[in-house]
Structure 1
Amino acid sequence: MEKELEFNVEGMTCGNCVAHVKKAVEEINGVEAALVSLEEKKVKVRTNGQVNPAQIREAIEEAGYDVV
């Protein structure tokens, strides 16, 4: 069962930041896609329904950004 999650992310300032966050999130087992918006400061994540939102939050924070 697919599930969409959305996170507000602070600290992204450029395209490299967007790519870094996207890569970190998409490496999580069960994440099907991540759409990262620098302008909106948001990350929208489509999962297979088996991913805990805390895993995504942790991956973003480990990449060096703040989930607010």
Structure 2
Amino acid sequence: MVTTTYQVQGMTCGHCVSAVSAEVGAIPGVRDVRVELASGQVTVDSETPLDVTSVRAAVDEAGYELVDA
């Protein structure tokens, strides 16, 4: 299991958390998604390391922005 934390910009409410969780959770291999609204951190547990392009696309689809590390 691989755990990775991403920074997401633009989330302001519970709906934001649900949208990001659903989109990132749909990426193949993702087992769990935890979103901390206050900090904008999204922690993802996956079977293998995720391609950041896939994560960025999922976050964009939810309507938010993945902040570059």
TM (norm. structure 1) is 0.90
RMSD of aligned residue pairs (Cα, Å): 1.1
- Report how many aligned residue pairs link the two structures: 67
> Hey, what does 2:27 align to over in structure 1?
28
In the TM superposition, structure 1's runs of 4+ consecutive aligned residues that sit over 6 Å from their partners are none
Structure 2 portions without partners, runs of 5+: none
Structure 1 portions without partners, runs of 5+: none
User: In the aligned structure 2, how far is the partner of 1:58 from the partner of 1:6?
Assistant: 16
User: In the aligned structure 1, how far is the partner of 2:22 from the partner of 2:15?
Assistant: 10
Q: CA deviation at 1:62?
A: 1.6
Percent identity between matched residues is 36
Q: CA deviation at 1:51?
A: 3.0
TM (norm. structure 2) is 0.89
